[in-house]
Chain A
Amino acid sequence: MTLKGKVFKYGANIDTDAIIPARHLNLYEPADLAQHCMEDLDEEFLKQVKPGDIIVADTNFGCGSSREHAPLAIKASGISAVIAKSFARIFFRNGINIGLPLLESEEAVDNIKAGDTVEVDLAAGRITNLSTGKAFQAKPYPEFMMEIVQAGGLVEQTKKKLARNK
């Protein structure tokens, strides 16, 4: 699958309160959460985000709470992938589990600016900055996680397992 979009770029330690403020955790439908995605961090995000766009951030993206509302809000806002130098542990699990593509590459983050257009070949882990022509390789997923990604998320993978065990 190839993803393509314009880049929103953020710094290190973007926490889950910045991604979806806790005052909105009385909601749980992804579309409702998406209305508030990044609102405290970046006022322009919701005005400008278009389906396919990509978030690029520094280290420890998604640190803080375990709220799955954070990757759900990002995904429902139209963002097709997040590229970061590293992800916080729970956010990474949640992203993989709900089928939000997450890619780790220090080099890509250092060589992509806000507003650049980036293309991601998910199967190959290839990140191309179409604005500069430079290409980067994301860290491959361990096989164990690749199975979840290929199944389309943890629920889908578990459903298959449960069907097999019947």
Chain B
Amino acid sequence: MTLAEKILAAHSGKDRVSPGEFINVRPDLVLSNDITAPIAIKEFERLGVKSVFNPKKIVMVPDHFCPNKDIHSAEQAKMMRDFAHKYNLIYFEVGEMGIEHVILPEKGLVLPGDVVVGADSHTCTYGALDAFATGMGSTDIAVAMATGEIWMKVPPTIKFVFHGKPRKWVGGKDFILYIIGKIGVDGAIYSAMEFHGEAVHALSMDSRFTMSNMAIEAGGKAGLCHMDDKTRAYLKGRAKRKYTEYSSDPDAVYAKVIEYDADKIEPQVAFPHIPSNTRPISQVGTVSIDQAVIGSCTNGRMDDLQLAGKILKGRKVNPNVRCIILPGSQKIYLDALRNGLIETFIRAGAAVSTPTCGPCLGGYMGVLAAGERCISTTNRNFVGRMGHVKSEVYLANPAVAAASAVLGRIASPEELA
């Protein structure tokens, strides 16, 4: 069996499962946020149950439009907070919060071998920790909160192997954009993606989270990495319960095996208005920008900030650019304050914000006007994603975003080296 099949079998009381099979799964963690929880709460109440299946396995995070951006958002955040308190769920108030997919691993709430379901498509992020994690809708989450069970169809698995070594300035963001550029936004539809190869193991944990995070942009149901010493070191001191290490069998059956040569992959930029519209940085041409955003569940971790810091240290953001940096959690914010990164960013002329999903989905903290262009370390560049329908979003890694902020056009970090 593949990694995904093994984890799903273990959570559905079966010895083995095969792709296409419908199973009832008992998740270890059920997640929602301030925009998906309200519908889940309404549906939960329609079920007429008196309690949740296990308050220690349900997490609610106010991150999308929080700290509250307007009255409607405030009402939604309050509805979630009241529900979380009523049922004694795991809940993080703004002072200790962060973006859900950044803080859940950071606080050791997700562990290898877990099944996590979340009312957020980027729940697949936790695949970097060897967990089977997938996004669903609010009604699914309502039923999971009430019953502790959720139906799933066992996905086929596609294996992606990255041979060789990542080039300088290349990380998980570039690998996943490269995959999406090759296979398209539905190239892994309904499938689990497994990431293999020396080049993937060469990535930091933060960079692996980025890679798993965007499995959904290829249509994937999950994006799984394989455990190694870096994973174990990350978990040390965080994991507060026992976990099981699974790995794919040598004779596991894959729907497809796709191999790439990492040595040939440059930093990638996804042009509007679809994440598969990728180009290597050398082929970008001259694209001037109005805004650079560094943050999100995709690239708001310490490694990402450090990459941006390397570029911005001693330099100035171009006067035509708004550079907005959002640490992914309060812990990362505090660490960045201590190690001097926040000062570097502010001296460079960047705005630094409290953690929020805000600008990624055109919520607040960096909404675009008609005709404006943004280079962003976020995950989607659909029409109107960050604001006006006539604005444009280009996706890239944090080093490219920072270099672009300095030069006022989409640029390679090499240009500043």
Contacts and interface: CB of A to CB of B under 8 A. Distances in A.
B136 A158 contact: no
A98 B39 CA distance: 11
Contact of A28 (B39, B65, B137): B39
Interface residues of B, number: 52
Nearest to B190: A89
Interface stretch (B8-16, B40-48, B369-377): B40-48
A88 B215 CA distance: 13
B65 A154 contact: no
A25 B64 contact: yes
B39 A69 contact: yes
Nearest to B361: A22
Interface in B169-207: 185-186, 189-190
A155 B135 CA distance: 18
A154 B143 contact: yes
Given A27-B72, A155-B46, A17 B35 contact: no
A26 B121 contact: no
Interface stretch (A45-53, A58-66, A112-120, A125-133): A58-66
A88 B186 contact: yes
Contacts of A164: none
Given A17-B383, A68-B36, A63 B219 contact: yes
Interface residues of A, number: 40
Most chain B beta-carbon neighbours within 10 Å: one of A59, A64, A66, A71: A66
Nearest to A33: B39
B380 A17 contact: yes
Contacts of A66: 36, 118-121, 123, 135-137
Contact of A162 (B47, B64, B185, B219): B47
A21 B362 contact: yes
Most chain B beta-carbon neighbours within 10 Å: one of A17, A26, A27, A97: A26
Contact of B138 (A18, A41, A59, A68): A68
B140 A28 contact: no
A22 B186 contact: no
Contact of A25 (B35, B46, B221): B35
B325 to A, nearest CB: 21
B233 interface: no
A10 B137 CA distance: 23
A63 B47 contact: no
A159 interface: yes
B133 to A, nearest CB: 12
Given A68-B139, A159-B48, A60 B189 contact: yes
A101 interface: no
Contacts of B72: 26-27
A30 B48 CA distance: 21
Given A27-B72, A66-B135, A162-B147, A40 B383 contact: yes
Most chain B beta-carbon neighbours within 10 Å: one of A17, A69, A72: A17
Interface string A123-162: 0000000000000000000101000000001110011001
B247 interface: no
A93 B143 contact: no
Contacts of B185: 13, 60, 63
Contacts of A28: 35, 38-39, 42, 76
A25 B143 contact: no
Contacts of A59: 186
A155 B35 CA distance: 20
Contacts of A21: 362, 384
A158 B147 contact: yes
Given A25-B361, A68-B39, A69-B39, A93 B64 contact: no
Given A63-B185, A67-B36, A68-B138, A26 B383 contact: no
Interface in B1-51: 22, 35-36, 38-39, 42-43, 46-49
Nearest to B276: A13
A90 interface: yes
B121 A155 contact: no
Interface string B264-287: 000000000010000000000000
Given A22-B361, A63-B185, A90-B135, A41 B47 contact: no
28 contacts: A17-B361, A17-B380, A17-B383, A18-B382, A21-B362, A22-B362, A23-B363, A26-B73, A60-B189, A65-B120, A65-B380, A67-B35, A67-B36, A68-B119, A68-B137, A86-B186, A89-B190, A89-B219, A90-B136, A94-B136, A94-B140, A97-B139, A98-B139, A142-B153, A154-B139, A155-B46, A155-B142, A162-B47
Interface of B: 22, 35-36, 38-39, 42-43, 46-49, 64-65, 69-70, 72-73, 76, 118-121, 123, 135-140, 142-143, 146-147, 151, 153, 185-186, 189-190, 219, 221, 274, 361-363, 367, 380, 382-385, 389
Given A23-B363, A68-B36, 14 more contacts: A17-B361, A17-B382, A21-B384, A40-B383, A65-B120, A66-B123, A66-B136, A93-B140, A98-B137, A142-B153, A144-B153, A155-B143, A158-B147, A162-B49
